[in-house]
Amino acid sequence: MTDTRVLSPSEVAEEHQQEAHAPYLMVWLWLAGLTGIEYVYAAGLKDFFLILLGGLLALAAIKAALVAWYFMHLKFEGKWVYLLILPALFLAVVLVLALIPDLAMQPADPEGDHVRVEPVRSDVEMARRIPMLATDRPA
Amino acid sequence: MALAPTDAVGPKPGSAGVRHAPVPSHSAPVTPGKVAIWLFLATEVMFFTGLIGSYIVLRAGSPRGAYSNLYPPNTPLRGLENSRGVVLRSIGPDRSKIEEVLRSLGDRKPDEAEQVIAAVPHGVVPARSAERAEALASALRSAGAVVEVEPLKTFEWPKPYDDAVNPLAINLTAANTFVLICSSVTMVLALSAIQRGNRAKCTLFLLATVVIGSIFLSVQVFEYRQLMFEHHYPSGISANGHFVPSCSLFASCFFTMTGLHGLHVTAGVLALSVVLIASIFGAFSASNYAAIELTGLYWHFVDLVWIILFTIVYLL
Amino acid sequence: MSAELASSGTPGEAPTQGPGHGPSHDHDHIHPAPRFFLFRYVFSTDHKVIAIQFLFSGLIFSLLGGLLALAVRWQLAWPWKPIPILSRLLWADPSAGYQMPPEFYNKLFTMHASIMIFFVVIPVLTGAFGNFLIPLMIGARDMAFPRLNMVSYWLMWPGFILILYSFFVEGGAAEAGWTSYPPLSEWKWSTPGSLNGQTYWLLAVMFSGLSSLTGSINYITTVLMLRAPGMKLFRMPMTVWGMFITALLQAFALPVLTSALVMQTLDRVAGTNFFEATGATVANAPAIPGGGGPILFQHLFWFYSHPAVYVMILPAMGMVSDVLSTFSRKPLFGYKPMVIAIGGIAGLGFLVWGHHMFQSGMNPMMGATFMLSTMMIALPSAIKVFNWLGTMWGGRLQYTSAMLNAIGFVSMFVIGGLSGIFMAATPVDIHIHDTYFIVAHLHYVLFGGSMFAIFAAVHFWFPKMFGRMMNERLGKIHFFLTFLFMNTTFFPMHIIGMHGHPRRIADPSIYEFLRGSGTLGMNQFMTVSALVLGAAQILFLLNFLYSLVLGRKAGDNPWRSNTLEWTTPSPPPHYNFARIPTVYHPPYEYSVPGVEEDFLLQTQPRPAKAGPLDPIMA
Ligand code: HEM
Ligand SMILES: [Cu+2]
C-alpha cells in the first residue's frame, strides 16, 4: 500500500476500460429485488422478532455488500482500502460491544414489567406526570 | 536492511510503466483523492457508528413498558395494568355529539377531544378499568361511532406496522429506498459512461442522479411534515398527537439518524450538482473523471447507510 | 557512487543532483507564491503559512487559557477574596465585596481546560507543527490537498468566535467541565452556564473537531502518497510518525465525539432525550420523559477523549525524539521499536477509555477489562522512555534550550505516566478519582509533557520557520523557571489529592478536613508558584517576539540535523524544495563512522564503510 505511485490518467482510463462493463443493471435488479423481499419478509414475519432480525440483517448486509462491491468498486481496488475500512469496522464493533453491558443490559426490575422510574406516590402526582391521563383526572 | 544506494532511489513519479509490486496490476490505481475519500468514508463509518450504535444499545436496553398502545411513551404504568383503551375507528355522522361524549364521559378537555377525533381511525382514549372503558364505548356507539375496546399492551420498542405505537409509513419509505438505489445506479452509469469517453451520456446520468436524489429528499421532507405537523397520531405514539423528536426515545433516534443521513444526502446532491455543472461545461473526459468517481463513492456510501437505516429503523 | 555522493552536499545546502531523478517530474510543478497579501498570508494554501497561522492563534489562546487558570488558582488559595483589578472590572458588586460569583469558578475551569485542549494544544501540535513539518520532512512541496488544508485552518475560526462569544451570552460560558457530562450540561436550569453557554461550547468544539478531521485526512494522505523517492515508511523521522499516527487516531476517534456532541446539542435544542435518564427529576421539576443514558455520553466522549490525550502527546513524543537525537549527536536508540511503540500506544489507546469511568457506575466487569488494558499501555510508554534515555546515554549532549525542554519532557512524562498507572488500578482510583491527584497527573503529562515539547519544538524549528535564531540565554532562563515552578505548582496536587481534595470545587474550605493550614497552605503555595510560572512565560513570549524581528539570522541547518527540512533555506521557499530530494537512509545517522561531520543528511548516502544498519533497532 505504501509504495504505490500515482499513475498517469491515461493509464487509469485504460485500466478501467476493460472492467467498466460490470453488470450494473444486474446489480440494480438484485438490489430492487432484495428490497422487495425485505419488504414482504418484514410484513409477513413482523410478529417474530428474532427471525425478523436475523433475516433482515442478512438481507441488508447483502445489499450493502452489493453496493460496496460493485458500485463502490471494491472489486477493483487494492488491499489498501481494507486497511482503512477494516480498522474502522473493528472499532465500531468494539464500541458497540462495550456499550452493551452499561446500556443494553438493564438491571432486572424486581417488580417485573415496569419502566425504570421511582414509584408514583399518589394519583395527584400521576396526573401531574401524565396530563392527558384519561378518566381519573383529579377534580 | 543494508541498502545498496541504488535501491534507495524510487521510481520517478509519473513515469510510465513503473508499477509497484504491492499493487496487483488488475487493481485500480491509487490516487491521493481516492485515499482521502476512503479515509473520509472511514470517518463517516465511525460517525454513524456513534449514532447507530447508540440506537442499538438504547433500544436493546429499553424496558418492557416504555411504550404501550394506550399511554404516551414512558408513562409509568404501575397501577394502570388494568387499563382498557377505547379506540375510535370512525366517528359516524355526528361529530359534535362524539366530542360531547368525549368531553363528558371521556373526561377530555375540548382540544384533547379534538385530538382524539383527528387521530381517527386510531383515536385512543385510555381508561383505567374495563367498566369505565365499556361505559365510554357504549356511549360513543350510541352516538353513532364505531369503536373497539382494547386491553393494555406494552412494548419495549414501537413495533413496525402497529398503528398504535409506530407512526412510520413503511410503504412510502420502501418506495423511497428504491428511489435512492436507482440514483446509485445512475451514478455508477455516469462514471462508466465517462470512462468510455461518452460525455453526453455521462451528463445525462449525472442529471438523473441529481434529480432522483432530490426526489428522495423531497419524500423525506414530506414524511417529516406528515410526522411532525400534519398527521395526528394516537396517544401511544405521542402525548400531543404529533410525532416530534421530543416525544420519545424512539422519536429521538428516528429523527437524529434519518435527519443526519438526510443532511448527508443534501450535501451529496449539492456536490453532484457542482459536478453536473462542470460536466455540462465539458470538464471531464475519458482520462479525467476523478471528481465524478470520488463524488460517486460518497454517494454510494450514503446509499449504503440508508440501506442499513431503512432496515433497522423502519422494518425492525 | 556512494563515495562521491557522500561529499557532494555541503551541510545546509540543497543538494543539486539527485541520482536517478531526471528533470522530468510529472507532478513537480513549482508554483510561485501568490503575490497579493491576502492570498499570501491570510487565505494561503501554503502549509508553512497555515502552520504559522495555527501557531499564532494557538499562542494567543494560550494566553487566555493561562489567565483563566490563574483565576482558578486565586480562588483556591484565597476563597472569595476579590481578585486584584479583575474583580472590580468583572463583578462590580461592592455589596458582595467584589467576590467571584460561585458559578464563575465553574466557568473558569471549564473554559480553561476546553481552550487549552481544543484551541491550544491540539491545534499547535497537529495544526502548527504537523502542517509545517510533514511536507518538509517527507520531501513534498505541500500537503496533498492545499486548499483543504486552508479550509481546516479557517474551520477553527467559527470555533474561536463561538467560544469567545459564549462568555457574553445570557448565563455566561459553559460550566459542565471540558468533559461536559449530562445531566449538568443538558438541563438548562441546572446552572447558568447550561442555559446558553453550553450550546455555544458544543458548536465551538464541533468546529474545532471538523478542523482536526479535515487536517487528519490531509496528513494521512500526504504521508502515504507524497513521500520523496527513497523516503520509505521506516525512513520517516519520528516527528512524522507521531503526526501520522495522531492523524489516524483523530480520523477514527473524532467522529464518535462529533456524534455525541450532535446528540447532546439535539438534546438541548430539539428536545431529544439520548442522555437523559428516564423519569429523572430535580428539585421537584417535572420528571423527564425519555429513556436514554447519561453514561452513554461518557462512553462516547471518552472513546474520543482518551485517544485525544494521545493526540496531545504522540506528536510531542515524535518531536522530542528528533530533538534528543540531534542534540545527543547520536542515533535515536531503537528507532523501529519507537515506531512500533507509538503504534502500540495508539492501538491500545482505543481500548482503554473506560478508565475514566471507573466511578461512573460502569459495569464492574468492564472496569476490570479497562484496568487491564490501561496497565498494558504503560508498556509501550515505558519503551519510549527507556529509548530516550538510551539515546542520551553516552551521547555528546548539547544543552540548547530545545534540548533542555526535551529533557524536561522526558522527566515530567515519567512522573505523569507513573501517576497514570496508580489511577489505572480500580481500587486506588476509588480513592483518588475526581481529586486533585487527577489534576496533578494530567498536568504532568500535559504541561510537563505536551507544553515542554511545544517549547522544545518552537526553539528547535523557529530558525526554519522564521529564518532567525531564538535567544538561547533567554530560552534557558525560561526553561529553568518553567521547570522549577511547574513542579512546585503541580507536585503538591498529588498530596492534597491523596488527602481527598476534590477537583472542580470552588471552595474546599467547606469541608472540615480541608480547612486546616496544611491544605490551605499548600493551595496558597501552589498559587504563588503558578503566578510565577505564568510570569515566566512572559520571557518566552518576549524571546519569541524579539527573535522574530531581531534574532540572529539562521543558516539552513543551524543544529546540524539530518532531516529533509534542513536541506531547504530558512525560511523555506513557497515550493519547499528546488528539486524533490532523494532519501538514502533513516534520519538518525549522527556520528557515523567514516563521515567527517557528525551528521549525515538524509539526502546523502551512507558510506559503505559505515556498515549495514541494524535491522531491528535502526
Ligand atoms: C502511562 C500512561 C497513562 C496512564 C496509565 C493514564 C491513566 C489515566 C487514568 C486512569 C485517568 C483517569 C483517572 C480518574 O479520572 O480517576 C487519567 C486521566 C487523565 N489523563 Fe492519563 N494516563 C496516561 C497518560 C496520559 C497522557 C499521556 C495524557 C495526556 C497527554 C493524559 C491525560 C489525562 C487527562 C487529561 C486526564 C483527566 C481527564 C479528566 O478531565 O477527567 N494521560 N489518566
Ligand atoms: Cu485516559
What are the grid coordinates assigned to C614, written together? Answer: 541494524
Which among A90, C479, C289 has a CA at the least distance from the CA of B66?
Answer: C289
With vertex at residue B147, the alpha carbon angle to CA B145 and CA B148, rounded to the nearest 5 degrees, is: 170
Contacts of C614 by beta carbon, 8 Å cutoff, 6+ apart = none
Q: How close, in Å, is residue C306 to chain A by CA atoms?
A: 13
User: Between chains, do C295 and A102 touch, taking CB under 8 Å as contact?
Assistant: yes
C477 SS3 class: helix
- Say if residues C307 and C352 touch (Cβ distance below 8 Å): no
- Say if residues C283 and C166 touch (Cβ distance below 8 Å): no
What are the grid coordinates assigned to C460, written together? Answer: 528547535
Contacts of A33 by beta carbon, 8 Å cutoff, 6+ apart = none
B77 SS3 class: coil
Average the pLDDT over each of B99-103, B163-167, B228-232, C587-591 and give the range with the smallest value.
B99-103
Predicted pLDDT at A114? 41
B211 interface with A at CB cutoff 8 Å: no
Q: Could you read off the pLDDT of C127-185 as tens digits, one per residue? A: 999 999 999 999 999 999 999 999 999 999 999 999 999 999 999 999 999 999 998 99
Confidence of residue C89 (pLDDT cuts 50, 70, 90): confident
Cα dist from C478 to C261, C404, C474, whole Å: 39, 10, 6
User: Which of C233, C252, C299 shows the shortest C-beta gap to A2?
Assistant: C233
What is the mean predicted confidence (pLDDT) over B77-82?
82
Check pocket membership of C423 for ligand 1, CB cut-off 6 A: yes
Say how far apart CA C510 and CA C102 lie, in whole Å: 13
Which among C316, C568, C303 has a CA at the least distance from the CA of C452?
Answer: C316
With vertex at residue C216, the alpha carbon angle to CA C211 and CA C219, rounded to the nearest 5 degrees, is: 125
User: Phi and psi dihedrals of B68, rounded to 5?
Assistant: -145, 165
C84 compared with C115, residue with greater pLDDT: C115
Mean pLDDT of chain B: 87
With vertex at residue C434, the alpha carbon angle to CA C428 and CA C436, rounded to the nearest 5 degrees, is: 90
Query: Residue C422: nearest ligand to its CA?
Result: 1
Predicted pLDDT at B26? 57
The answer, yes or no, to whether the previous bond of C183 is cis (omega within 30 of 0) is: yes
Check pocket membership of C445 for ligand 1, CB cut-off 6 A: yes
- Say if residues C504 and C106 touch (Cβ distance below 8 Å): yes
For chain B, report the end-to-end CA distance as a whole number of angstroms: 56
This prediction has a pTM of 0.90
Mean pLDDT of chain C: 89
Q: Is the pLDDT of residue A119 over 80?
A: no
Q: If you measure CA to CA, which chain A residue comes closest to B47?
A: A92
In chain B, residues with a C-beta closer than 8 Å to the C-beta of C26 are 13-15
In chain B, residues with a C-beta closer than 8 Å to the C-beta of A27 are 185
- Concatenating the DSSP letter of every residue in C337-355 gives HHHHHHHHHHHHHTT-GGG
Say how far apart CA B206 and CA B185 lie, in whole Å: 10
Say how far apart CA B113 and CA B10 lie, in whole Å: 80
Q: Could you read off the pLDDT of A55-110 as tens digits, one per residue? A: 999 999 999 999 998 888 888 887 889 999 999 999 999 999 999 988 888 655 44
Q: Is the pLDDT of residue C17 over 70?
A: no
Q: If you measure CA to CA, which chain A residue comes closest to C223?
A: A2
Say how far apart CA B257 and CA A102 lie, in whole Å: 22
Interface confidence (ipTM) of the complex:
0.91
Say how far apart CA A85 and CA B209 lie, in whole Å: 26
Predicted pLDDT at C25? 40
Say how far apart CA C90 and CA C108 lie, in whole Å: 13
What is the mean predicted confidence (pLDDT) over C192-203?
94
Cα dist from C12 to C61, C104, C139, C466, C562, whole Å: 35, 53, 15, 16, 10
Q: Is the pLDDT of residue C14 over 60?
A: no
Confidence of residue B199 (pLDDT cuts 50, 70, 90): very high
Q: Could you read off the pLDDT of B235-265 as tens digits, one per residue? A: 899 988 899 998 889 999 999 999 999 999 9
**Single-letter code of the amino acid located at C570:** S
Helix spans in B143-169 (H): none
The answer, yes or no, to whether the previous bond of B158 is cis (omega within 30 of 0) is: no
C435 SS3 class: strand
Maximum CA pair distance of chain C? 85
Q: Could you read off the pLDDT of C489-529 as tens digits, one per residue? A: 999 999 999 999 999 999 988 898 898 888 999 999 999 99
Domain boundaries, chain B: 32-62+163-315, 82-151
Predicted pLDDT at C612? 82
Q: How many residues does chain A have?
A: 139
In terms of CATH, what superfamily is C2-10+49-610?
A: Cytochrome c oxidase-like, subunit I domain (1.20.210.10)
Share of chain C above pLDDT 90, in %: 76
Contacts of C136 by beta carbon, 8 Å cutoff, 6+ apart = C48, C464, C564, C565, C568, C572, C576
Predicted pLDDT at C36? 76
Say how far apart CA C238 and CA C339 lie, in whole Å: 7
What are the grid coordinates assigned to A62, written together? Answer: 447483502
Choose the residue to mutate in C179, C377, C438, C451 for probing ligand 1, maximizing ligand atoms within 8 Å of C-beta: C438
Check pocket membership of C355 for ligand 1, CB cut-off 6 A: yes
Check pocket membership of C260 for ligand 1, CB cut-off 6 A: no
Q: Could you read off the pLDDT of C36-68 as tens digits, one per residue? A: 777 777 889 999 999 999 999 999 999 999 999
Predicted pLDDT at C3? 36
With vertex at residue C429, the alpha carbon angle to CA C428 and CA C431, rounded to the nearest 5 degrees, is: 75
- Concatenating the DSSP letter of every residue in A30-68 gives HHHHHHHHHHHHHHHTTT-HHHHHHHHHHHHHHHHHHII
Predicted pLDDT at C28? 59
CATH of B82-151, one of 3.40.50.720, 3.40.50.1100, 3.30.1390.10, 3.90.1660.10: 3.30.1390.10
What is the mean predicted confidence (pLDDT) over C424-449?
95
Say how far apart CA A126 and CA C286 lie, in whole Å: 11
Residues paired with residue B126 on neighbouring β-strands, in sequence order:
B85
Domain B32-62+163-315 = CATH 1.10.240.10: no
User: Between chains, do B5 and C26 touch, taking CB under 8 Å as contact?
Assistant: no
Predicted pLDDT at C92? 61
Q: Could you read off the pLDDT of B43-58 as tens digits, one per residue? A: 999 999 999 999 999 9
Cα dist from C438 to B92, B234, C421, C441, C492, whole Å: 69, 51, 11, 5, 12
**Single-letter code of the amino acid located at C2:** S
Helix spans in chain A (H): 9-19, 24-44, 49-66, 80-99, 123-129
Q: Is the pLDDT of residue B22 over 90?
A: no
Say how far apart CA C335 and CA C238 lie, in whole Å: 8
- Concatenating the DSSP letter of every residue in C190-246 gives SSGGGTTHHHHHHHHHHHHHHHHHHHHHHHHHHHHH-PPTT--GGGS-HHHHHHHHH
Check pocket membership of C337 for ligand 1, CB cut-off 6 A: no
Specify the residue with its C-alpha closest to ligand 1, atom 8: C420
**Single-letter code of the amino acid located at C304:** Y
User: Phi and psi dihedrals of B28, rounded to 5?
Assistant: -65, 150
A15 interface with B at CB cutoff 8 Å: yes
Pairing status of strand B84-90 against strand B146-151: antiparallel
Cα dist from B245 to A115, B253, C201, C447, whole Å: 20, 8, 22, 43
Say how far apart CA C192 and CA B125 lie, in whole Å: 41
**Single-letter code of the amino acid located at C477:** I
Segment holding C72, helix H or strand E? helix C47-77
Scan residues 142-201 of B and list those with Cβ closer than 8 Å to C: none
Contacts 24+ apart (CB under 8 A), C184-187: C185/C264, C186/C264, C186/C267, C186/C268, C186/C275, C186/C276, C187/C282
Confidence of residue C434 (pLDDT cuts 50, 70, 90): very high
Residues paired with residue C435 on neighbouring β-strands, in sequence order:
C502
Instruction: Report chain B's C-alpha Rg in angstroms.
Output: 28
- Say if residues C205 and C174 touch (Cβ distance below 8 Å): no
What angle, 0 to 180 degrees and rounded to 10, lies between the N-to-C axes of helices B199-225 and B249-280?
160
Q: How close, in Å, is residue B39 to chain C by CA atoms?
A: 6
Contacts of C109 by beta carbon, 8 Å cutoff, 6+ apart = C68, C72, C177, C504
Contacts of C414 by beta carbon, 8 Å cutoff, 6+ apart = C385
Q: Is the pLDDT of residue B13 over 50?
A: no
What angle, 0 to 180 degrees and rounded to 10, lies between the N-to-C axes of helices C47-77 and C102-114?
150
Confidence of residue B5 (pLDDT cuts 50, 70, 90): very low
Share of chain B above pLDDT 70, in %: 91
B109 SS3 class: coil
Share of chain B above pLDDT 90, in %: 57
User: Between chains, do A115 and B23 touch, taking CB under 8 Å as contact?
Assistant: no
Q: Could you read off the pLDDT of A1-27 as tens digits, one per residue? A: 344 444 444 444 444 444 444 588 899
For chain A, report the end-to-end CA distance as a whole number of angstroms: 75
Residues paired with residue B90 on neighbouring β-strands, in sequence order:
B146
User: Between chains, do B49 and A91 touch, taking CB under 8 Å as contact?
Assistant: yes
Domain boundaries, chain C: 2-10+49-610
With vertex at residue A32, the alpha carbon angle to CA A31 and CA A38, rounded to the nearest 5 degrees, is: 85
Instruction: Report chain A's C-alpha Rg in angstroms.
Output: 26
Across B69-134, the runs of DSSP E, i.e. the strands, are 84-90, 123-127
What is the mean predicted confidence (pLDDT) over B283-296?
93
